[in-house]
Each structure stands twice: as C-alpha cells, then as structure tokens.
C-alpha cells in the first residue's frame, strides 16, 4: 500500500491495530518537545538548526521550520540534504565534509534553488566545492569544522582555521560563512556540572577564533551543540546556532541526562512466542537501534531482556501473552529511525497520519 492507501486504511484506528514492528510518534509529545526547545531559545540569542539525522523525516523537518527560533536544518549527508531540498526545506547545513567532484556537483545544483552550506576541513574539499560552484554559477557557503576534542574531523582552533579561511577567501565559488564544531566527546557526560565545565572550556578556543576573525573584518557564525548540551552551549556568548536533533523524539540513552524532554516515539512490537515462560517479541536488531543497550518496555518494569537476534528479542518476566502488543523505547533513536521507511503519527493512541522517512539509508 502506498502512503495514501495506508492512511485511508488505518486513520482513526488504534495504534494497536498496526502491523508490527513499526515506529509511532505521539504528536502532542513531539510538539511539546519542540515547543520546550523553542521556549528555551527565546531566552538566548541563539537559533536552532535541528539535526535531520535523528529522525530522517522531512515532514518533521518542515514542522520544525515553523518554530520561531528555527532557521534551517542540519544534516550529515549530501543525500539527506537532497531529500530535504526536494521536500521544500530551503536552508540546509551539511555538518560534515563532502569529498569528490561527483558529490560537490550535486551540492552546487542544490544551491541553484536553495541554500545548502557544507563543513570543510581541507584544501581539496574547498577546491572541489569551488570548482563545482563555478560550473553551476552559484556560491556555496562553507563553515570550517573545528575539532574541539572529538577527533573525527575538523582542524584545530586558531592558525589551522585562519589558514583554511585564507584558502576559502582565495577560492572562487565558495564563501566563508562560519565555524562548525560539535562537542560529541562530552555531550553525554552524566554529571551536569562537569559537562558544563568541559563544554565551556572546550568551546572557548572556538569563540576566541571567531573573535579574531571578526577583528579581521569577517562576518561569521558558530554552529554547534547537541541535545545533551543545548542549555550550556546555547548560553555561550558567540554561539549562533544549535544543532540538536534527538530532543524532538528522544530515546532512552538521552533520557538519563535530559529528563525534561519526553519520549515521543516508540517501537510497537508483538509477543510472538512463549518458550518455557520466556517471551519473544517480533523485533530485533533489524528493528531497533541498540548500540546503547536494550530497549525499555513501557508498562512492564519487571521485564528483563535475555538476548537480541536479528528479528527477535527474548524477555524473562514479561507478563504478557502471545499476541499482546507492547511499546518499547529505543536506546538510540537516530539509528532506529534509519531502519524504517515510515513513522506513524498518533494522538491519544489513535492514528492520525503517517510520515515517510525519506532519509532512511541516505548514506552518500
Ligand atoms: C555534527 C553534529 N551536530 C549535532 C549533533 C547533535 O545531535 P543530538 O541532539 O542528537 O545529540 C550531532 C550528533 O551526532 C552531530 O554529529
């Protein structure tokens, strides 16, 4: 069934009527999470560019764009940006390097109808973007990625950044728009005071780098931050945009340090087997992102997971019968959404809509 047929068939029915496994988002909880972040941003001079990688759903991105403090969408991949632009999102930051002329040409093409900026950390990356931009007759805005300790990309603050800014300034087709940093190495530190101290300490050199460039006459932004640091990074003078993504739907890994955001999305599964009292459900590693542990089963606090395989999860002490449907909170929401092609939308457990997950499998 296509989206319209699915909706016609299930709209108004109970979520428990859906075939499992599937993911479902409660619209009221989702909107409350979005509103909470927007309210927070009202107290700061910072704006939000929520990360698409966390849900991969263009309908959700469009909804986020309607909030006052949201200026655009962040994504990790070129093909995610293409889905966003095709879906009507016209201000996108790819917070990642894009290397290869075959890919930079696609970025240039998107810039003919939208603003799609890219993070850079190498001369070759800048040159490839510049060449593609000139051929397409556009200017591609770039943000220099600054490594503040995560060690997966970017250059160190200070001189390495100034050197790249000089190359950008000398390269036709690209414009220097700012700095991109992400405090991923400390975003989930459990102790809040320690997290705050580390974030402020590790972002300081980026702020100093920005000030130095401003003194030289450059106008630039800093884009940074995640769900674990939004209220720290968002209060740092000199940070212009936050890239938080997980807060919208939440997951059980983040809930430990961010109790203020509620679970808006869950996986619905069916109990399919009763093996000597242990219950097996119809979702395994292919239906829930479990890098951060075992899913939380709502309403069955006594349930204890014994083991995962591709299509099964076995519990002991799960007080449910074959055929019962159970709701589970994924430990990692970003990789969970990447496993599904649609997310059902409910209100008071009644199905209201179904949103495509266009970014599923967008790895290019
Ligand atoms: C570049 C970048 N920015 C921001 C984030 C923040 O995402 P979240 O809000 O899910 O922590 C991430 C997460 O991996 C990221 O890679």
The string of pLDDT tens digits covering residues 217-232 is: 999 999 999 999 999 9
pLDDT, averaged across the chain: 97
Answer for the pair 94, 85: CB distance below 8 angstroms, yes or no: no
**Percent residues over pLDDT 70 in the chain:** 100
| 226 within ligand 1 shell (Cβ under 6 A) | yes
Q: What angle do CA 305, 307, 311 make, to 5 degrees?
A: 110
- Kindly tell me if the per-residue pLDDT of 118 is higher than 90: yes
CA distances from 143 to 4, 132, 200, 223 (A): 40, 17, 21, 9
For the CA of 247, the nearest atom of ligand 1 = 9
How far, in Å, is the centroid of ligand 1 from the Cα of 142?
18
Mean pLDDT value of segment 122-133 = 98
Rounded to an integer, what distance in angstroms lies between the CA atom of residue 38 and that of residue 47?
Answer: 9
- How high is the pLDDT of residue 80? 98
Ligand 1, pocket-test mutation among 73, 184, 248, most atoms within 8 A of CB: 184
- Kindly tell me if the per-residue pLDDT of 307 is higher than 90: no
Ligand 1, pocket-test mutation among 93, 148, 151, 187, most atoms within 8 A of CB: 187
Residue 154, φ and ψ in degrees, nearest 5: 95, 170
How far, in Å, is the centroid of ligand 1 from the Cα of 242?
9
Secondary structure letter of residue 14 according to DSSP: B
| 248 within ligand 1 shell (Cβ under 6 A) | no
How far, in Å, is the centroid of ligand 1 from the Cα of 115?
21
The pLDDT tens digits for 13-36 are 999 999 999 999 999 999 999 999
| 234 within ligand 1 shell (Cβ under 6 A) | no
| 246 within ligand 1 shell (Cβ under 6 A) | yes
| 95 within ligand 1 shell (Cβ under 6 A) | yes
Half-sphere exposure of 83 toward its Cβ, with a 13 Å CA cutoff? Answer: 27
Mean pLDDT value of segment 58-85 = 98
- How high is the pLDDT of residue 153? 96
Half-sphere exposure of 285 toward its Cβ, with a 13 Å CA cutoff? Answer: 7
How far, in Å, is the centroid of ligand 1 from the Cα of 244?
6
Structure tokens given for 247: 């807060």
**Which residue has its alpha carbon closest to ligand 1 atom 10?**
246
| 224 within ligand 1 shell (Cβ under 6 A) | no
**Percent residues over pLDDT 90 in the chain:** 98
Quick one: which H or E segment has residue 169?
Answer: helix 159-170
- Kindly tell me if the per-residue pLDDT of 146 is higher than 90: yes
Q: Is 127 exposed, middle or buried (0-12, 13-18, 19+ CB in 10 A)?
A: middle
Mean pLDDT value of segment 265-273 = 98
- Kindly tell me if the per-residue pLDDT of 72 is higher than 90: yes
- Kindly tell me if the per-residue pLDDT of 43 is higher than 90: yes
Q: Is 283 exposed, middle or buried (0-12, 13-18, 19+ CB in 10 A)?
A: buried
Ligand 1, pocket-test mutation among 243, 335, 336, most atoms within 8 A of CB: 243
**Which residue has its alpha carbon closest to ligand 1 atom 11?**
226
Of 254, 320, 255, 253, the closest CA to residue 282 belongs to 320
**0.85 cut: is pTM over it?**
yes
């Amino acid at each position: 069934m296509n989206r319209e047929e699915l909706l016609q068939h299930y709209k108004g029915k109970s979520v428990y009527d859906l075939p499992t496994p599937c993911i479902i988002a409660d619209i009221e909880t989702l909107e409350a999470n979005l509103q909470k972040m927007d309210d927070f941003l009202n107290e700061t001079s910072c704006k939000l560019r929520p990360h698409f990688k966390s849900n991969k759903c263009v309908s959700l991105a469009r909804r986020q764009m309607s909030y006052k403090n949201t200026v655009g969408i962040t994504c990790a991949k070129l093909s995610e940006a293409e889905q966003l632009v095709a879906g009507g999102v016209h201000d996108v930051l790819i917070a990642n390097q894009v290397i290869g002329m075959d890919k930079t040409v696609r970025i240039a093409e998107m810039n003919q109808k939208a603003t799609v900026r890219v993070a850079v950390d190498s001369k070759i990356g800048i040159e490839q973007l510049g060449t593609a931009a000139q051929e397409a007759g556009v200017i591609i805005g770039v943000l220099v990625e600054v490594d503040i300790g995560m060690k997966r990309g970017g250059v160190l603050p200070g001189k390495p950044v100034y050197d790249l800014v000089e190359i950008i300034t000398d390269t036709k087709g690209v414009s220097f728009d700012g700095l991109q940093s992400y405090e991923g190495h400390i975003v989930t530190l459990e102790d809040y005071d320690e997290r705050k101290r580390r974030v402020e300490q590790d972002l300081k050199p980026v702020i100093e780098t920005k000030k130095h460039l401003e003194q030289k006459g450059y106008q630039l932004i800093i884009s940074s931050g995640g769900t674990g640091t939004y209220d720290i990074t968002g209060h740092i003078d000199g940070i212009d945009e936050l890239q938080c993504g997980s807060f919208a739907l939440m997951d059980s890994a983040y809930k430990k340090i961010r109790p203020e955001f509620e679970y808006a999305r869950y996986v619905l599964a069916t109990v399919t087997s009763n093996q000597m009292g242990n219950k097996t459900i119809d979702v395994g590693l292919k239906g829930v992102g479990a890098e951060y542990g075992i899913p939380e089963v709502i309403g069955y606090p006594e349930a204890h997971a014994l083991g995962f395989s591709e299509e099964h999860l076995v519990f002991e002490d799960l007080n449910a019968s074959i055929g019962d449907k159970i709701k589970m909170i994924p430990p990692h929401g970003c990789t969970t959404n990447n496993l599904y092609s649609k997310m059902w939308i409910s209100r008071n457990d009644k199905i209201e809509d179904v949103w495509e997950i266009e970014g599923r499998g967008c790895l290019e």
